[in-house]
Structure 1
Amino acid sequence: MLDHLKRSAAALALTAGMAFAAEDTITLGMALEPPGLDPTAGAAAAIDEVVYANIFEGLTRFGPDGAVRPALATSWDIEEDGKIYVFHLQDGVTFHDGTAMDGEDVKFSLDRARAEDSANAQKALFAGIEAVEVVDPLTVKVTLSSADGSFPFNMAWGDAVIVAPESIDGAATNPVGTGPFRFSSWTQGDRVEIERNPDYWGEPVALSKATFRFISDPTAAFAAMMAEDVDAFPNFPAPETLAQLAADPRFKVIVGSTEGETILAMNNKQPPLDDVRVREAIAHAINRQDIIDGAMFGYGTPIGTHFAPHNPDYVDLIGLSDYDPERSKELLEEAGVSDLKLRLALPPPTYARRGGEIIAAQLATVGIATEITNVEWAQWLEQVFKGKDFDLTIVSHTEPADINIYARPDYYFQYAKQDFVALMDKLTVTTDAAERSAILKDAQEMIANDYVNGFLFQLAKTGVANARIEGLWENSPTQANDLTAVRWVD
């Protein structure tokens, strides 16, 4: 009997130990698999959703509140009214392969990002850099061609992380950063696994391991949550099931905001979309609330320009492109356009696939036919984003405060009006908060009046997690699943 009790106690202790051990691991669901894991050479949001603040770090970083915080730079001095930034680096930082991180790596990273042959998707972030000088191993001086009060903000983007020349060539499949987690494995089509970095320079993370599972189908995502095959789904692709999950005490539903302006992007150089009357006709044919209700089950905030409603500089311009199908027909007639058929490329997210069907039906009522093509992200990036071979597409731009993309001459919707470029140039050299606010408001009004794109809604962040998990971001000031503060609680 005593032996039996001892064996039972040992089994119980072992079970408890196993349960305790499991409490420092987490499995997250993601709707999209990244095309690679190098954030300095790809535009897909799914890259940063795995690596931002987990594997890779920059000089600065975004906190969960959107504020710019120190990261690999402990502090920075601003000289010549914002034309020179002197960054003071953390001491004792190593990359995951054991090599030291110092000023030479910072110089390499910034020079690489701004190089003529750079593959960085946000190359404009680095365009103002005139020179990068290593003062000493822990001090880097960056000289800009003109003053830029937003430079620390720019350096917080995932595209601006610090990488090493020794490992960058393999970063797409074997990323080597300085973060609190290091890459473990990638089973393509299924999952990426990362593990705690025992040599991390900063505060150790609570989790010993994290797994990102790729589950694109909304029904499968719901089933995975119900079966507890995943512990959390920070960007849950099945909003129609949120009420059921919220009623289950095992889970908590996390609803917040994102930087994701969801747009019906138009190719502004593709006839007849090069005619503002045709673009305006398309805008007036769209019933935003029907899309929010039908595709997002009510989660989303209507927008009338490319700016987040939670931003203090937001201007409500929805009235410029309100739902008015009769006005759409009048504008098409004025433009001399009839029997119009446009190609509509839809990437994988549910907002695009479901929203695209609704928009196609709305356009049909004003006489615009659409040819829908469902494309995977790799094809979208190659054909639409790089090749500009499209008429219409639907995408959520999740980068923070990114209205400046409308000034880029090579950007995929091909706007870059000179008056708008001048506004962005003025914004770059302006440091006064009130003046910057006025410029941003003018910029919002210009692209809204030019009907550059069909502005649909601000993407909500709807997540689901085990009720005992804390530390996941409620809002998304950038595209990330930052696990640095995530832990299990009793």
Structure 2
Amino acid sequence: MNIRLGRRPFLGAVMAGVAAPLAACSDDGTAETQEQARQLVIGATAAPAALDPSTNSGAAIPQALLYNVYETLVKIDSNGDVVPLLATEWNESEDGLTYTFTLQPKAAFSSGAALDADAVKTSLERIMHDESVLATLKSQLGAMESVTAQDASTVVVRLSQRDNNWLYHAAQTAGIIYEPDKLDQLNTAPAGSGPFVFDSWSEGNPLVLRKNTSYWGTPTVFDTVTFKYFTDATAENSAMSSGDLDVISNLQAPQSISQFQDTSRYTILDGTTMGEVVLGLNHQREAFSDVRVRRAINYAINRSDLLQTVAAGYGTLIGSMVAPTDPWYEDLSGTYDYDPDTARRLLAEAGHGDGLEFALRVPNLPYATSAATFITSQLAQVGITVAVDTLDFPARWIDEVMTKSNYDMTIISHTEGRDIEKWANPDYYWHYDNAEFNRLIAEARTGPADEQVEKMRQAARVLADDAAADFLYSMANLVVLRSDISGVPENLTSESLDLTAASSTNI
């Protein structure tokens, strides 16, 4: 299928609107329509477990808060480019070791506190030194050696070595600038500088944002945004069809897209995401230390049929941990064409002709449970018995799979940008360790900038050839909008569901 791509690169989220309290309205209902139009409710597939994105993993937190409540020095725009945000401009030294940022003079936190160089220094140094910060974020900005407030409006970041990805990561969760005096409240009361402010959230309830009436930049047109969390795709679609929803972002059940074909009511966007759906293998398990077993699993699964079954054909076959909007993307989906006979032969050569048994532990997300059913059937045909265990997401899946590595196989969409680098960390929950791959990733990141793309392509080929996992497909970004809504990005190019340009013709 054809997908319109941005130039560069999320567990998927779903947007929805609910009826707001009605204003007193005129005979023609104009006031009521405008009041309703200023309310936007977003329904997502996975709720956050907490609210501090620097200490809690899970895509739901930056999905709602990044760029909307929290801002960064630079951001990833809808084309996938790095553009100014809290910094009006920046300069990189010729050796790639020094970044100098000039801050936006009007920028301020929503509380009115100054957003100056000292505030930026506090946030970035927290990533460096606070032991509670996620290791992933520390790694992303790991080359950062020092941060200096040269004056109130100038920040100088010094790296210990060149890092061709540093600015990209600084434009996302790792680079969030938090209000310094409220760092101890971030899990319950996010404090940023964006066009929205945090209003309310508790476990099992919607997450509500409201307009930052003192925002330093271009204000949002919406008074409130509410994120509602759905696990049932049918209920979500029914709500959209009945007029209770404004938007569905990243449709959970692509097979149902035909019910939104009425262009007088809906607009459908067909874009892409950074979400690589991966059948992950726990390399601590003895069977997966044998590349023949890993390759057999890849040969045993018909990814084209899986994509049709799980996502009605929407998405892109990939073959490695690279999204279609990454600069180094190339189609590696043919590395292991569907060949169950070869799969059986490899298993026999590896001493498993009598079969293997694995536990497949997946999150209770529609694409994952559907893919698990398909994969279980396919692997059974080559003598691999799979016991599926569905875990609540995010809390239990993160605890059992990511934290405890208590699994054999799993299925998840990894949504962070340039997340192929995670395969170079043997402590990450896959526990994959390949010296050649690690070398290429390091050279791509720290070597000459003009060699990065080719080095990353080589690394992606190593990952594919070594069958480190079965890289199933890259998720499509199927967005269903109420026909008056615009400004929602077609492609998800960052960790954020960026609503800063969202609007409605009814306002």
State the TM-score, normalizing by the size of structure 1: 0.94
Give the AA of the match of 1:413.
Answer: W
2:205 is the alignment partner of 1:197: no
Q: Flag the 1:331–1:149 CA change in 2: closer, same or farther, 3 A.
A: same
Give the AA of the match of 1:213.
Answer: K
CA contact (8 A) 2:141 2:174 kept: no
Aligned equivalents of 2:470 and 2:137: distance in 1?
Answer: 23
Q: Flag the 1:118–1:83 CA change in 2: closer, same or farther, 3 A.
A: farther
Unaligned runs of 5+ in 1: 1-9
2:476 is the alignment partner of 1:460: yes
For residue 501 of structure 2, what is the aligned residue in structure 1? 485
Alpha-carbon distance, 1:482 to partner: 1.1
Moved more, 256-265 or 122-131: 122-131
2:285 is the alignment partner of 1:285: no
For residue 442 of structure 2, what is the aligned residue in structure 1? 425
CA contact (8 A) 1:221 1:236 kept: no
Give the AA of the match of 2:163.
Answer: D
Alpha-carbon distance, 1:86 to partner: 1.2
Aligned equivalents of 1:190 and 1:230: distance in 2?
Answer: 17
SS of alignment partner, residue 427 of structure 1? helix
Q: Give matches, 1:256-271, under 5 Å.
A: 256-271=271-286
Alpha-carbon distance, 1:295 to partner: 1.1
Aligned equivalents of 2:209 and 2:69: distance in 1?
Answer: 8
2:48 is the alignment partner of 1:31: no
Q: Could you give the per-residue CA deviations for residues 209-266 of structure 1, whole angstroms, max 9, x where no partner exists?
A: 1111112201111111012222111122121211111236311221111111111011
Give 1:253's match in structure 2, choosing from 268, 276, 283.
268
Unaligned runs of 5+ in 2: 1-23
2:90 is the alignment partner of 1:76: yes
Provide the alpha-carbon RMSD of the alignment.
1.7
For residue 454 of structure 2, what is the aligned residue in structure 1? 438
Alpha-carbon distance, 1:431 to partner: 3.6
Q: Could you give the per-residue CA deviations for residues 295-346 of structure 1, whole angstroms, max 9, x where no partner exists?
A: 1111121111111234452232222211111111111111112431111111
Q: Flag the 1:356–1:181 CA change in 2: closer, same or farther, 3 A.
A: same
Q: Could you give the per-residue CA deviations for residues 49-93 of structure 1, whole angstroms, max 9, x where no partner exists?
A: 111110001111111111111111111121242101111112242
Give the AA of the match of 2:465.
Answer: N
CA contact (8 A) 1:277 1:332 kept: yes
Q: Give matches, 1:60-459, under 5 Å.
A: 60-115=74-129, 117-120=131-134, 121-247=136-262, 249-337=264-352, 338-376=354-392, 377-433=394-450, 435-459=451-475
Alpha-carbon distance, 1:187 to partner: 4.5
CA contact (8 A) 1:292 1:457 kept: yes
Aligned equivalents of 2:42 and 2:25: distance in 1?
Answer: 30
Aligned equivalents of 1:446 and 1:116: distance in 2?
Answer: 35
Aligned equivalents of 1:208 and 1:277: distance in 2?
Answer: 56
CA contact (8 A) 1:256 1:462 kept: yes
Alpha-carbon distance, 1:411 to partner: 1.2
Aligned equivalents of 1:422 and 1:453: distance in 2?
Answer: 19
Q: Could you give the per-residue CA deviations for residues 73-125 of structure 1, whole angstroms, max 9, x where no partner exists?
A: 11112124210111111224222233222222222222221226243243211
After TM superposition, the runs of 4+ consecutive aligned structure 1 residues lying more than 6 A away are none
Moved more, 10-19 or 286-295: 10-19
SS of alignment partner, residue 336 of structure 1? coil
Q: Flag the 1:26–1:65 CA change in 2: closer, same or farther, 3 A.
A: same
CA contact (8 A) 1:385 1:412 kept: yes
Aligned equivalents of 2:292 and 2:411: distance in 1?
Answer: 20
Moved more, 193-202 or 98-107: 98-107
SS of alignment partner, residue 52 of structure 2? coil
Aligned equivalents of 2:71 and 2:449: distance in 1?
Answer: 29
Give the AA of the match of 2:32.
Answer: M
SS of alignment partner, residue 122 of structure 1? helix
Moved more, 348-357 or 148-157: 148-157
Q: Give matches, 1:7-46, under 5 Å.
A: 12=26, 15-46=29-60
Aligned equivalents of 2:316 and 2:71: distance in 1?
Answer: 31
Paired-residue identity, %: 35
State the TM-score, normalizing by the size of structure 2: 0.91
SS of alignment partner, residue 288 of structure 2? coil
Q: Flag the 1:11–1:142 CA change in 2: closer, same or farther, 3 A.
A: closer
Aligned equivalents of 2:106 and 2:86: distance in 1?
Answer: 11
Aligned equivalents of 1:156 and 1:327: distance in 2?
Answer: 44
Aligned equivalents of 1:188 and 1:204: distance in 2?
Answer: 29
Alpha-carbon distance, 1:169 to partner: 2.1
Aligned equivalents of 1:421 and 1:47: distance in 2?
Answer: 29
Alpha-carbon distance, 1:372 to partner: 0.8
SS of alignment partner, residue 321 of structure 1? coil
Aligned length: 480
